[in-house]
Amino acid sequence: MALQALHSSGVGLRRILAHFPEDLSLAFAYGSAVYRQAGPNAHQENPMLDLVFTVDDPVAWHAMNLKKNWSHYSFLKLLGPRIISSIQNNYGAGVYFNPLIMCDGKLIKYGVISTGTLIEDLLNWNNLYIAGRLQKPVKIVSMNENMALRAALDKNLRSAVTTACLMLPESFSEEDLFIEIAGLSYSDKSPEGQFTQLMTLPRTLQQQINHIMDPPGRNRDVEETLLQVAQDPDCGDVVRLAVSSIVRPSSIRQSTKGLFTAGVKKSVIYSSRKLNKMWKGWMRKAS
């Protein structure tokens, strides 16, 4: 019944949100607890609900949350909100996670990210951690009237469409089109068209492409490199490799940070749940 309530009206999500400080610029939920998913884990009972909270002032927000939800934090709560915020902002992907929390009868995990950090990632793809999540189906629970954030959310989706378009083959099925670029009907594979698209990509992704393609000692500017890539038949593969080079390090750093923010016990439990989920998937495929 709780899962059905989350799916049908969002009342359960708003009820959970009431347990936290209200100063949020954005709150969204994602994962199998919000959207039923196909595959071996489609019928998982009581899946953990994943949430992300975006806050303008992490120090103030963590201070209020420590008063309301002291038990949510690992031993780092003893160091106070400033240290927690410093760890959030300066390590990993700029997110502080509290996993395996029972809230309103639901097992949840929530991450906290500063509004400024999120906007930078949405615009420039600094690490594609939360920006990447926001390119997939999510349920917005709360959002204020921050126009810069709204514009960045829109830009992130447009960048994702452009990138997917560059990575698609010359010809593709209608299904491929909807899966890869969320319904966009534009593809222009000429060098001129690809160069135009490459020039609109987020800055960090352009820099990664330049790093991959620029031989030692050349020190070409980004625009020169993108012009070369636009004429390369393997343009899509270069873009894919550059995206991977952004995502992989940030994911590793964020996972390492989780040992401290979640605590060793919670990290072991959370990892065990993940491994068990993967194992069930493998066993189903094998059978």
3-state secondary structure the chain: CHHHHHHHCCHHHHHHHCCCCCCCCEEEEECCCCCCCCCCCCCCCCCCEEEEEEECCHHHHHHHHHHHCHHHCCHHHHHCHHHHHHHHHHCCCCEEEEEEEEECCEEEEEEEEEHHHHHHHHHHCCCCCHHHHCCCCCEEEEECCCHHHHHHHHHHHHHHHHHHHHHCCCCCCHHHHHHHHCCCCCCCCCHHHHHHHHHCCCHHHHHHHHHHHCCCCCCCCHHHHHHHHHCCCCHHHHHHHHHHHHHHHHHHHHHHHHHHHCCHHHHHHHHHHHHHHHHHHHHHHHC
pLDDT of 231: 79
74 within some domain: yes
Q: Is residue 128 part of a domain?
A: yes
Q: Report the amino acid identity of residue 136.
A: K
Q: What is the pLDDT of residue 8?
A: 40
Q: Specify if 7 maps to a domain.
A: yes
Rounded CA-CA distance 231/248 in Å is 27
For residue 268, is it within any domain? Answer: no
| CA within 13 Å, CB half, 115 | 19
User: Quick check: is 205 in a domain?
Assistant: no
pLDDT of the chain, 287 residues: tens digit per residue: 333 334 444 668 999 999 999 999 999 998 878 876 655 445 566 778 999 999 999 999 999 999 999 999 988 899 999 999 998 998 878 999 898 899 988 889 899 999 999 999 999 988 888 988 888 888 999 999 999 999 999 999 888 878 887 877 777 765 765 566 443 223 375 666 677 788 878 889 898 898 888 766 566 788 888 888 887 878 888 888 888 888 776 655 655 656 566 565 565 555 566 556 655 555 555 55
Classify residue 52: in a domain, yes or no: yes
Per-residue model confidence (pLDDT) at position 40: 45
In a domain, 126, yes or no: yes
What is the extent of the structural domain holding 40? 2-148
Number of domains comprising the chain = 1
Q: What is residue 259's predicted lDDT score, i.e. its pLDDT?
A: 58
Tokens 């135009």 found at = 196
What CATH number does the domain containing 88 carry? Answer: 3.30.460
Is residue 99, in this structure, part of any structural domain at all?
yes
Measured from the Cβ of residue 219, the count of other Cβ atoms closer than 10 Å reads 8
- Residue 222 confidence (pLDDT): 83
Type of residue at 221: D
pLDDT reported for residue 268? 57
